[in-house]
Amino acid sequence: MTKRMENAVRKARQAKCHARSLGGRRYEVTTPRGHRYTIRMEMRDGQRYAICNCAAGTANQPCYHIIGAALLDTAITGCPTRHPLQRTL
């Protein structure tokens, strides 16, 4: 896991974000400040890929919104979480 991904995981644990499913492996994450971000996930070759429309996500950097959405994605789909998330779809 990269240092940036570790930081995203740490921030996701501290933030009080709310994630909800929009259907079709799309999620909306709302931050404590009320900002809303859309995350899209898919599986390719057994690896989970995700992209977020936040500034970090559009710059292909890990963000805590993806981590929050991944927890919900795991609960809904049963997708294993042993692999780090990729940011590019």
* Residue extents of the structural domains in the chain: 3-77
Give the per-residue pLDDT at 52.
Answer: 94
User: For 12-64, what is each residue's pLDDT tens digit?
Assistant: 888 888 999 999 999 999 998 999 999 999 888 888 889 999 999 899 888 99
pLDDT at 87: 55
Q: At 2, is the pLDDT very low, low, confident or very high (cuts 50, 70, 90)?
A: confident
Q: Is the pLDDT of residue 84 over 70?
A: no
DSSP-derived letter for residue 56 is H
Provide CB contacts within 8 A for 36, sequence distance 6+. 28, 29, 30
Is 78 or 30 the better-scoring residue by pLDDT? 30
Q: How far, in Å, CA of 30 to CA of 65, rounded?
A: 8
pTM for this predicted structure? 0.81
Phi, psi of 36 (to 5 degrees): -120, 135
Cβ 38 vs Cβ 26: under 8 Å? yes
